[in-house]
Amino acid sequence: METFKSDLSGNEFPSAEKVSGKSIRKGLYDLIRQDHPHFNNKCHLALSELTEYKQRYYEGFFSHEIGQLTEMEKQVMAKLKDHESITDKLDTGEESLPATYGERLADKIADFGGSWTFILIFLFFICAWMAVNIYLLANKGFDPYPFILLNLILSCLAALQAPVIMMSQNRQESKDRQRAKNDYMINLKSELEVRILHDKIDHLLLRQQQDMMELQQAQMDTLREITHALKLIHQDVHKGNKGDHGTS
């Protein structure tokens, strides 16, 4: 297997990882020059070495754009460096935020309180309460008109139902924040992957252009050799014809 010597570390790498200095973007090129001032457009380095500088470049880019990198962004950079998928180890809302018994009870009460079943049952209860006190007990029952006890029950129910619903909403907001965090991490890694993919495509295109130029140069050299050989043959034939005419 053919190898080459990196101008950065001096180590041997496979020729397939060879990257020319003139194919590197200016930002990465300047970063490499900070550590290796002798590096120039004619030098070469390995793709693995370039990947390390890309990570440093992107860390510096995001630090400049959004300030100090958070733990979440550092985690994304580490995943990118190790070529790991973020979605395999994402924390879902339910798994990362374990609910207590009170929170689960609040969720169930909020779900039931916001359903048509609760509305119909409660409407039936109110109508039955008023019908019993007005008609069956001739408005002399345990809660005659204007139904003071019923108003008290409704007020207590509303007072208890409101904080229960707020508890459920707070838990749902925590789940939404976790999902938003996961989406941000995935989007950030996707952006970095796209940037790296662009760099790789640029490198491949430049490599193909270099190969095409070398192939074209080889063809031109071959064409010149053929032209030169034809001239020599033509001269030999011309000299032979002159010799034949002189003999005759």
* Residue range 213-231, pLDDT digits in tens: 777 777 787 888 888 788 8
Nearest to 103 by CA among 173, 153, 182, 179: 173
> Average pLDDT of 223-245?
76
CA of 239: how far to CAs of 81, 233, 245, 248, in Å?
71, 10, 10, 14
Mutual orientation of helices 148-247 and 71-82 as an angle, nearest 10°?
A: 40
Domain boundaries, the chain: 1-68, 70-199
Residue 76 near residue 89, CB atoms below 8 Å: no
Tens digit of each residue's pLDDT (9 = 90 or more) over 4-38: 888 888 888 887 778 878 777 777 788 888 888 88
- Residue 64 pLDDT more than 60? no
Residue with tokens 């004619």: 42
14 has which bridge partners?
3
> Average pLDDT of 196-212?
71
Written as one letter, the residue type at 121 is I
Whole-number pLDDT of residue 93: 47
Token readout for 66 is: 């959004």
- Is residue 91 helix, strand or coil? coil
**CB neighbours of 86 closer than 8 A, spacing ≥ 6?**
76, 79, 182, 185, 186, 189
Helix (H) or strand (E) holding 5: strand 3-5
